[in-house]
Amino acid sequence: MGSGSVFIVFILMALVSISSAIMMLRSKNAVHSALWLVLNFTAIAVLYVILNAPFIAMVQITVYAGAIMVLFLFVIMLLGAEQLQGITGVEGSERYHQAVAIVLVVLLVVGFGIVLAQSGVGSGGETAVIDASPAALGLRLFEAYVLPFEVTGVLLLAAIIGVAVFTRRKKKEA
């Protein structure tokens, strides 16, 4: 693929990713929202392939779009939370949430712009070659990031136990 076609695929996948994220947030049906998130994860995996990180792309598909989304859908179906109507929270708080979201988006864009300006993206300088092999990635993950990896596992276990407790209470009440 030439650099022009890679750029076109990048732009298309970026648009798909942004659009699916917006649709995920706007969807009133929790199952549809989860499926929009699967599309978002898939578009991001394509972006990883474009960035020459095929291992991360496959992990993105198998772990996030596969396993985690199956867990999400299972929990949504188990709790019967397909419809998100009537779960808006406190009356009149929508404007507050929108204002906070707009401020956070502006801060994110400004921060991203500052990082890009400081990193000198597009300056044409030489970049360091990074070993992206699965072995090097595994060593890096389990040497430098063991604690966050373990904390994530404990959080997922706590979420599963929480779902089991909530459904058990629901069954006893019925």
Tens digits of residue pLDDT in 88-139? 454 556 777 778 778 877 887 887 778 777 766 555 556 667 777 788 878 8
Partnered with residue 29 across adjacent β-strands are 83
**To 10 degrees, the CA torsion angle through 112, 44, 37, 156?**
-90
3-class SS of residue 29 = strand
CA distance 103 to 25: 17
Residue-level pLDDT at 92? 57
Residue-level pLDDT at 122? 58
Of the chain, the percentage scoring pLDDT greater than 70 comes to 82
Q: Give per-residue pLDDT as tens, 72-91.
A: 877 777 777 655 555 445 45
Residue-level pLDDT at 79? 74
CB neighbours of residue 38 within 10 Å: 20
Amino acid (one-letter) located at 23: M
For 89, the token pair is 């929270």
Q: What is the mean pLDDT of residues 149-158?
A: 89
For 2, the token pair is 């030439």
CA distance 30 to 159: 18
Is pLDDT larger for residue 5 or for residue 40? Answer: 40
* Residue where the block lists tokens 């404007």: 95
pTM for the whole thing?
Answer: 0.58
For 46, the token pair is 């394509």
Residue-level pLDDT at 90? 47
